Amino acid sequence: MDFEKYGPWALIVGGSEGIGASFARRLAADGFPLAVVARKPAPLEDLASELRATGAEVRVLSADLSQPGAVDVVRELTDDIEVGLLIYNAGANSVRGNFVELDPEVYRSVIAVNVTGQTEFVHHYGAPMCQRGRGGIILCGSTASYIGSPTLAAYTASKAFSRIFSESLWAECRAFGVDVLHLNVGFTATPAMARLGYNLDAAQAPQDVAAEGLDHIADGPVWIVGGPQNVELAVQRSTVANRADAVTRFAPPRS
């Protein structure tokens, strides 16, 4: 990573494990001081201890990103530093169900993290990057953004918002020297997926996903991880000729 363009500090939101922790390890190895935010304090502290043992400068903060004003809470961690790289990796989905049957707190939380929170963080940290004429923003999305899915209505819709939002940001920010990338993530062997009981034998390693994101930050607006097969899947899911057929064929089944 280009420290002059994306430094001095990297802020990773949703960074305590999985892909977020892999971003942290790679950036620490490249000499970036890190501010890492996530909900669970124990994995955060474990990661911080691991990275500090290698000589990295690390700040951590436990914060619930689904709550109003989350960006103001995180500002307590970053107001005295210059953030040149924002990675927004929060937004996993742990509850499935027909939308009309869900507890409203489930979909409100998904929208708060994936839509409202993402826009607030980009607005706050992206503005000074554009003023300085350098920096980078990676917004982690999902191949689920290309099609609606039963039992995942709010999640798939919020990821579609993130992708289109990223494309718009990319078009705006490149004029100011700031790179924006929507990192479109597929099936990945994260601890969150393991806790949900998925067989991860065919899943991509989180460190490989993070590496693709950092290696292709300047290749926006969208980078689909995992190679040509995932690109083809996105193309198939994006067909507009017959959306009923596309949703029926490609939407993940209810489980």
Active centre residues (catalytic): 155
Per residue in 46-81, is it b (16+ CB within 10 Å) or e — as a string? ebbeebeeeebebebbebebbeeebbebbeebbeee
The dihedral over CA atoms of 111, 113, 117, 122, expressed in degrees to the nearest 10, equals: -110
Task: Determine the Cα–Cα distance for residues 237 and 70; give it in Å rounded to an integer.
Answer: 33
Give the residue from 75, 212, 40 showing the smallest Cα distance to 48: 40
At 234, phi and psi to the nearest 5?
-65, -40
